[in-house]
Each structure stands twice: as C-alpha cells, then as structure tokens.
Amino acid sequence: MSELTTGSFSIDDLENVQITINNIVGAIEKEAESSDVEMGPTVKPGVSSLRDWDHNVLDRYNAVYTPMCDQCCYCTFGPCDLSGNKEGACGIDLAGHNAREFMLRVITGAAAHSGHGRHLLHHLIGLYGKDHPLDVGATNIIAPNVQLVTGVQPKTLGDLDDVLSYVEEQITQLLAAVHMGQEGAAIDFESKALHGGMIDHVGMEISDIAQISCLEFPKADEEPPLADIGMGCIDSSKPTLIVIGHNVAAITDIIDYMDEKGLNETMELGGLCCTALDMTRYKAEDRTAPQAKIVGTLAKELKTIRSGIPDVIVVDEQCIRADVLEEASRLMIPVITTNDKVMYGLKDRSNDDIEDIIEDLTTGKEKGALMFDYEKLGELAPRLTIMMSEIRKQKGIKALPEEGDLKAIADTCVHCGACEVACPDSLPISEAFTRLSEGDLTKFEWIHDKCIACGRCEYACPKDIDVVDVIEKCSQSLISEEVGKVRAGRGPISDPEIREEGVNLVLGTTPGIVALVGCSNYPDGTKDLYTIADEMLRRNYIVVVSGCSAMDLGMYKNEDGLTLYEQYPSRFRSGGLMNTGSCVSNSHITGAVIKVAAIFAQKNISGNYEEIADYTLNRVGAVGVAWGAYSQKAASIGTGCNRLGVPVILGPHGSKYRRALISKPYEEDKWNVFDARDGSEMKIPAAPDYLLTTAETVEEMMPMLAKSCIRPSDNNMGRMIKLTHYIELTQKYLGVMPDDWHKFVRTETDLPLAKREDLLKILEAEHGWEIDWKRKKILSGPAMKSDVSAQPTNLKRLCKEA
C-alpha cells in the first residue's frame, strides 16, 4: 500500500469496481524521501524544530513589548491586573501575555491567508482537477517557500492540497498553545510567532500559485498590463458593480458572464482591496488591458459606499468592513456575500431561483443574499446591477449632503473636539468645520487624503454629524481627479532575473531590495509611499510592492503625468519597480530572496530553513516596509520575513502591534558571527539593528532603509554604495551626518569616493583613527576586519572546523 500515491486503480478480478484513493497518509513524505533531491535537516518543521535558531536570533533582536492594555481578560480567573509586569492568577506575566497575544495575531493572519488558500484550492480543484499542472512562469522553483519549509516540490494542484494540510496542522498546534495555563516563557511564544509567520508565507504561496496556474494571471511577467485605479476612474453614469475583499474565486464568474453577454461597455466593474488587484490579473496573461477597475484600498470602502455610486456590492473575505450591509442598505444597495467567513446574517440563496432572488432584492424585501453558487452569482450580480441602477435612479436615492447644506451642517458643530480625540490620526475636524462655515472647503480636502474613513469621528460626535460624508462632499472635485495607473500583479520573479541580479545583491553593488507592502493605515496620507518609492528607485534600489501599497503608489504622477509604474521597468533589477500582486503575492517577495540563495548561491533549499535564513540575514540586503500596516495579516507577513532574516519597518500605527524586535547596538558581544571557512569569530556591524520596528515619519525612515540593507558580506564597492546612500539620506532628511557611519567602515575603500578625504579627516580628528595621509590609507581604528571572501554565518554547524 505504501507504494500508492494519489490516483485511481482497478482491481482485475472484480468487475465494475473502482477504488479512488484521495490521499494516503505519508504519501508526500514518501515521495520527498524517494526523490533524489538533497533534503535539509528541517523537512516540515514542527512548532519547536527551529527553536534553536529562533532563540539565537532573539538573543540579539530582543522582543520589545508595548502593551495596549495592562490587563489580561482571557479566562474566568481574571481579569487580572498585570501592570508593572505583575503575574496573573494563572502565573503568566505581562511580557508572556503580550507575546502570547502577538503570536495569536500572527496565526490569525496566517489563518486568513491559508483559509483563503484552502477555499480557493477546493474551488479550483473542483473546476480543474487535482492533476492540473502548476505553471507560474519561467522558473524551476515553482514554490520556493513550500520547498524551503516542507521539502516538497509541488507540480499539481493536488500536491498543494497536501502541503496545505501541513500548514493547517501547524496553525492548530500554535493556536492550542494560546490556551491558558501552559506556555509561560515569552521567548517561546516569540519562537511560535516566528513559526506562524513562516507558515503564513507557505499558505500565501499556495493561494497565489494556485490562482496563477488556473486563472490566466501573468506568470513572472516583466511587462504586465496597466490597470486603471482611483475613485475617479469609475464612470458613475453607468450601472456600477463593486466587489470588495481578497478572494477572487467568485468574481471570475462575474467577469466571464459580462464578457459573454457583452456587458463591458454597458456597466462598470470596480473593486476595493486585493480582489480588485486580482480582477486585473484575471486573463491578463495576453497583456490586454483589464476591463475591471481598481477603486482603491480598504480606506476607500466607506467612502465608496457613502458616495452612493455602487448599485450592487459583492463581498468575499478578509479586509472588508463589518458594516458594509448596514451602510449599503441605507442607500438601497443590495449586498451579496459569497464566502462562509462573512455572511452578515443574510439568507443562503444558493439553491434558489435567480428570478426569485432578483425579485426580493429589487423590491427591497431583502437587503442582500448569501450565494455560494458562483455560476449563479456570475449571472445574478450583473443583471441585478443593471436593474438596481434604474430603480435607484427612479427612487432618487440621495447619498452625500447637497452642497447648499454644507454650511448649515458646519454651523451645528459645537467644536467640542470629541471627534479629534477619537480620530486615530487626530485630524483637525473642528477647525475644518470653522473654515467650512466661512465657505472654505480646502481644510476638508486636506483631511480627505489623510482620512482612512474609519468613521470613529461620527460615533464620537454628540451632534450626530456625518463627518465622513462631509469630508467626501467637500472633496468631490479632488476625488473626480483621483485616477492613476497600476501594473497588474506580475507574479513571481523569474529564474533568469535572479541569476542576473543575484551577484549584485549579494556583493552589495545593488544597494538593496525595498519591499513596500501592507495596508492603508498610513500616518500622514497616501503620498508617503510615493515619496519612499520615488527616492529609492532614483537611488537604484529594487522596489517590490503588493496589495494596497501597490495600489496607492499608482495614484501619484510626475510632472509629465506619469506614474512610477510607467517610469520604471517591472524587472527584478537595480531601479526596477515590481507589483507582485495581491496580499498573498507577498510570498513572491520572500520567494525571490529564497531563490537568490538557491539559484545564485546554489544552496539546497529543500527543508533547509535555518541555513537559508542565515544566508539572507548575512548576505541579502532586503528590507520590508509596511507603512500603513493595519491587520493581523500584516503582522504575520512581517513575522514571516523576520524569520527568514529580512528586517521590517512599520509606520507609527505599527506600534499598535505591541511588539517589536530591536537590538542593542551597544551590546558589543552580540555583534559577532562565525566565518564558515574556519569557524573563527568575526565582528560585524550593528545593521540591521532591528528585525521589526517602527518609524515616526517618512523622513526618519529614509536613512533607516539604507542602513537596514548593510550586510556583513558586502564587498568594498557594495559597502561604499550603501554607506553613500546612508550618509546622503541622513543629510537630506535629518539635516545632519549620521552619528554611527564610522562603525560601518572597515577600510578606506569602504568610504564614499567623493567624500573620502573629508571622512578620513573626521575619522582621525573625532574618532582617533590613524591615517597614512600619503597613501590615504587607514592604519588603525576599525572594529571590523575587511575580508570580502569571509563567509559570515550564525550557524556553528556550517563551519569547516566545527
């Protein structure tokens, strides 16, 4: 029996009997064992398999807790007062409790992605069968995260099914550890959180490669088509269907139906959040511009509904507001839910006749419907949209306040300031109302870009002013111009690209990879993202984006009216800007890092997690930025990057994740690695000096980005380039020299060429280094040796002498 794998076979002697084997426990392990691929020591690691590596890393990058609440309310012993790091009735202290909560946040995010993956995979296997081959473009490593963690090299949808079972098992084991009265050590909760983050990237990868393989998405495409984006790109005179969420499974049927019936010119199909991005990838392999439009991010959800423009809303899962139904029904917009994670209390109409459902929704008898039959949905949603458009027009549905009413509304404001206390970004609403009373709309226009449309101001207002509506009404002309371009998600990075660029990355001559990911809880509006990408692209960093960040980046244009997507190539090279795709496409970013080790450095990656994470931390100058991170998913994505050795910077809102990983550069003994050639110890610079931290402003982050790309293995040219950017960015954005630049200098050739002489003078005068001025050589001073052929590692077992 153990020889059998998935498939079917007939038994000769018995007629008409066919036995179908769907899954054999251990089949995949067998297959891994029998393949001639070399396996690393941690194939399908359990919760504790990588614990030593984690403890090693956490010894340098300490968990820093900033609890949101100093109580614990987990069980009936409590609530317990844990302030001052006291212990609760069960014995857990505040640090442990916070670590536990952080881990829970991470696995919630991982569950969101892999739950999405499971749903999608079921759906796609139903349509295409288990043997449907995986095809993600020009690569021999179809699934780098899957292979790295599990040793499996999946070839079909069915192979993904098996890996996903492993993912689900790990998430269950981690969740079990949250139960009170067991794990007590904060550091082990941290290790579990890292495990969850790693597992998340496997789950994300499964989701994305399944949909890329089946739905004609771009496959490692260097020139994916451009899609329209912005609240202004919807022609609101047409019937408008808006979809919200992350799981495009159901929406493809709508797109197909619209194509079939020639409805693409009759009505508008727009999306919010990642489903929108994935709609523009659907059937984009042929590079024709997508019909579907991207309205924007989560921050535009409430605004889009309140605008009254949608005639029907379809939601799937994840980043969708819990009040969509309530908000939409006020404006007679029917809502259709399509996923069992989000049902809004609606009746399941999956088995009902379409005409009956249409009758109930058009008459307003029901506010919405739950629909699991996607073929039916494909027809229902467009037809309903066209009908509702007419009905809503006839009824004269009024959405935002009239312009003439704005002054009267402004005059009801008593300037109590409650809204500003409630507003997550303390936006100056009271002042904007004062100006509005005088007929000046500009302050509200200014607020529009910064407002994330959470609606908290409205709940706080004692005068019941619909502040969000006022912001939107005042910004109508601005909103109509909100039109941009974004590249449809290209999917993974191809092997030829990695082969070409790997050497530059590892030696440091390409200064680094900056990955801009995450959601829309930005501290100071969306333009920050553009500012970061623009600056780093000009400096030849590789910029990779995904999800809501990829969308918002496309909203800004240069003097010639071009977005960054139109200015920079979508190639994995110095000065390239790539949109990998939706949230689950973040796995291609870690995937690219893994491929650098596999393809460029010829490392075995199968089940070899530690070694690859070690390689990344010491050699690949990559840094993640989640400037507007808001959800648990961002916590899991970032944590997965961390375990792989990629540091991540969050915007100030990211402090609300309540946990960071920050080192102490002054702890000198922590900044050593081994040289794999002989096991000797090497001093290394304190960069990156965090694995997860927050920055207050974009200006502060710019030099942090440059410093975070410095790695022990940089050669002299690479170190010089990286130091040049670090010094220049510090001077440009902070107005001073960085006070630690000299700590990264190993030899005179590490110094930026244009400033070499001046910097040598400073080294001599301020730091007491000895300089041979005739030869412009450093004689003594640096804490580190310069030896570019050294092989830095944190793993003693990889050393020759060990």
Least spacing, CB of residue 182 vs ligand SF4, in Å: 11
Stretch that binds another protein, among 107-115, 236-244, 342-350, 413-421 (CB under 8 A): 413-421
**Structure tokens that stand for 464 in this block:** 């019941």
Q: Is residue 734 a contact residue for another protein (CB under 8 A)?
A: yes
Q: Is residue 739 a contact residue for another protein (CB under 8 A)?
A: yes
Size (the chain), residues: 802
Least spacing, CB of residue 398 vs ligand SF4, in Å: 21
Is 451 annotated as contributing to ligand binding? yes
**Between the CA of residue 305 and those of 240, 398, 399, 464, 532, what are the distances in Å?**
11, 12, 9, 19, 30
Give the SS3 label for residue 792.
strand
Number of other residues whose CB lies within 10 A of the CB of residue 481: 10
Phi, psi dihedrals of residue 92, rounded to the nearest 5°: -80, 145
Least spacing, CB of residue 325 vs ligand SF4, in Å: 19
Q: What's 133's DSSP letter?
A: B
CB closer to ligand SF4, 417 vs 496 = 417
Least spacing, CB of residue 380 vs ligand SF4, in Å: 32
**Binder of another protein out of 666, 669, 766, 768 (CB under 8 A):** 666
Strand order in the sheet with 335-337: 368-370, 335-337, 312-315, 240-244, 268-272, 293-296, 226-229, 484-487
CB closer to another protein, 63 vs 506 = 63
Q: Which does 134 bind (CB under 5 to 8 A by kind): another protein, ligand SF4, none?
A: none
Is 69 annotated as contributing to ligand binding? yes
Least spacing, CB of residue 667 vs another protein, in Å: 8
Is 641 annotated as contributing to ligand binding? no
Sole residue written with tokens 């990868």? 205
Stretch that binds another protein, among 334-342, 371-379, 695-703, 760-768 (CB under 8 A): 695-703
Q: Is residue 474 a contact residue for ligand SF4 (CB under 6 A)?
A: no
Is 767 annotated as contributing to ligand binding? no
Is 233 annotated as contributing to ligand binding? no
109 in Cβ contact with 518 (< 8 Å)? no
Q: Is residue 95 a contact residue for ligand SF4 (CB under 6 A)?
A: no
Is 90 annotated as contributing to ligand binding? yes
Spatial distance between the Cα atoms of 676 and 332, rounded to a whole number of angstroms = 67
Q: Is residue 84 a contact residue for another protein (CB under 8 A)?
A: yes
CB closer to ligand SF4, 455 vs 654 = 455
Give the SS3 label for residue 543.
strand
Q: Which does 664 bind (CB under 5 to 8 A by kind): ligand SF4, another protein, none?
A: another protein
CB closer to ligand SF4, 46 vs 91 = 91
Least spacing, CB of residue 172 vs ligand SF4, in Å: 20
Spatial distance between the Cα atoms of 412 and 466, rounded to a whole number of angstroms = 11
**Binder of ligand SF4 out of 88, 308, 651, 703 (CB under 6 A):** 88
The verdict on whether omega for the bond into residue 79 sits within 30 degrees of 0, i.e. cis, is yes
229 in Cβ contact with 293 (< 8 Å)? yes
Spatial distance between the Cα atoms of 513 and 755, rounded to a whole number of angstroms = 25
Stretch that binds ligand SF4, among 197-205, 429-437, 772-780, 785-793 (CB under 6 A): 429-437
Q: Which of 569, 574, 415 is nearest to 505 (CA)?
A: 574
516 in Cβ contact with 533 (< 8 Å)? yes
**Binder of another protein out of 418, 601, 784, 788 (CB under 8 A):** 418
Is 274 annotated as contributing to ligand binding? yes
Spatial distance between the Cα atoms of 169 and 759, rounded to a whole number of angstroms = 55
Q: Is residue 429 a contact residue for ligand SF4 (CB under 6 A)?
A: yes
Q: Which of 364, 321, 371, 378 is nearest to 346 (CA)?
A: 371
Q: Is residue 424 a contact residue for another protein (CB under 8 A)?
A: yes
Q: Is residue 354 a contact residue for ligand SF4 (CB under 6 A)?
A: no
Q: Total binding residues for ligand SF4 by CB under 6 A? A: 42
703 in Cβ contact with 695 (< 8 Å)? no
Q: Which of 560, 556, 511, 505 is nearest to 538 (CA)?
A: 511
Least spacing, CB of residue 92 vs another protein, in Å: 14
Number of other residues whose CB lies within 10 A of the CB of residue 151: 25
**Binder of ligand SF4 out of 67, 184, 424, 665 (CB under 6 A):** 424
Q: Is residue 660 a contact residue for another protein (CB under 8 A)?
A: yes
Is 73 annotated as contributing to ligand binding? yes
Is 583 annotated as contributing to ligand binding? yes
**Structure tokens that stand for 717 in this block:** 């040219």
**Between the CA of residue 696 and those of 488, 653, 654, what are the distances in Å?**
31, 9, 10
**Structure tokens that stand for 782 in this block:** 């640096």
Spatial distance between the Cα atoms of 205 and 591, rounded to a whole number of angstroms = 9
Q: Which does 467 bind (CB under 5 to 8 A by kind): ligand SF4, another protein, none?
A: ligand SF4
- How far is Cα of residue 26 from the mean position of the Cα atoms in its chain? 33
Stretch that binds another protein, among 146-154, 243-251, 594-602, 657-665 (CB under 8 A): 657-665
The full DSSP string for 707-758 is HHT--TT--HHHHHHHHHHHHHHHHHHHSS--TTGGGG-SSGGGS-GGGHHH
Q: Which does 697 bind (CB under 5 to 8 A by kind): another protein, ligand SF4, none?
A: another protein
CB closer to another protein, 198 vs 422 = 422
Q: Which letter, b or e, does each residue of 58-93 get, where b requires 16 or more Cβ atoms within 10 Å of its Cβ?
A: bebbbbbbebeeeebebeeeeebebeeeeebebebb
Q: Is residue 92 a contact residue for ligand SF4 (CB under 6 A)?
A: yes
**Binder of another protein out of 65, 189, 217, 609 (CB under 8 A):** 65
Sketch the per residue contact string, 45 through 64, with another protein: x for CB under 8 A, - otherwise: -----------------x-x
Is 319 annotated as contributing to ligand binding? yes
Residues in 360-419 that interact with ligand SF4 by CB under 6 A: 413-419
CB closer to another protein, 345 vs 462 = 462
CB closer to another protein, 223 vs 696 = 696
Q: Total binding residues for another protein by CB under 8 A? A: 50
CB closer to ligand SF4, 184 vs 665 = 184
Q: Is residue 662 a contact residue for another protein (CB under 8 A)?
A: yes
Q: Is residue 367 a contact residue for another protein (CB under 8 A)?
A: no
Q: Which of 380, 410, 231 is nearest to 305 (CA)?
A: 231
Sole residue written with tokens 């392999």? 285
Burial of 439 (0-12, 13-18, 19+ CB in 10 A): exposed
Q: Is residue 700 a contact residue for another protein (CB under 8 A)?
A: yes
Q: Is residue 638 a contact residue for another protein (CB under 8 A)?
A: no
Is 246 annotated as contributing to ligand binding? yes
- What residues pair up with 71 in beta bridges, in sequence order? 81
Residues in 50-79 that interact with ligand SF4 by CB under 6 A: 72-75, 77-79
Q: Is residue 708 a contact residue for another protein (CB under 8 A)?
A: no
Least spacing, CB of residue 183 vs ligand SF4, in Å: 11
Categorise residue 651: left if φ over 0, alpha if ψ from -120 to 50, beta otherwise. Answer: beta
Is 799 annotated as contributing to ligand binding? no
658 in Cβ contact with 102 (< 8 Å)? yes
Q: Which residues would be at the binding site for another protein (CB under 8 A)?
A: 62, 64-71, 81-85, 94-95, 417-418, 421-424, 426, 456, 523, 652-653, 655-656, 658, 660, 662, 664, 666, 689-690, 693-697, 699-700, 704, 733-736, 738-739
Residues annotated within the binding site for CO are 113
By the criterion CB under 6 A, which residues form the site for ligand SF4?
Answer: 72-75, 77-80, 88-90, 92, 180, 413-419, 422-425, 427, 429-430, 433, 451-457, 460-463, 465, 467-468
Binding residues: 69, 72-73, 75, 80, 90, 113, 246, 274, 319, 413, 416, 419, 423, 451, 454, 457, 461, 519, 548, 583
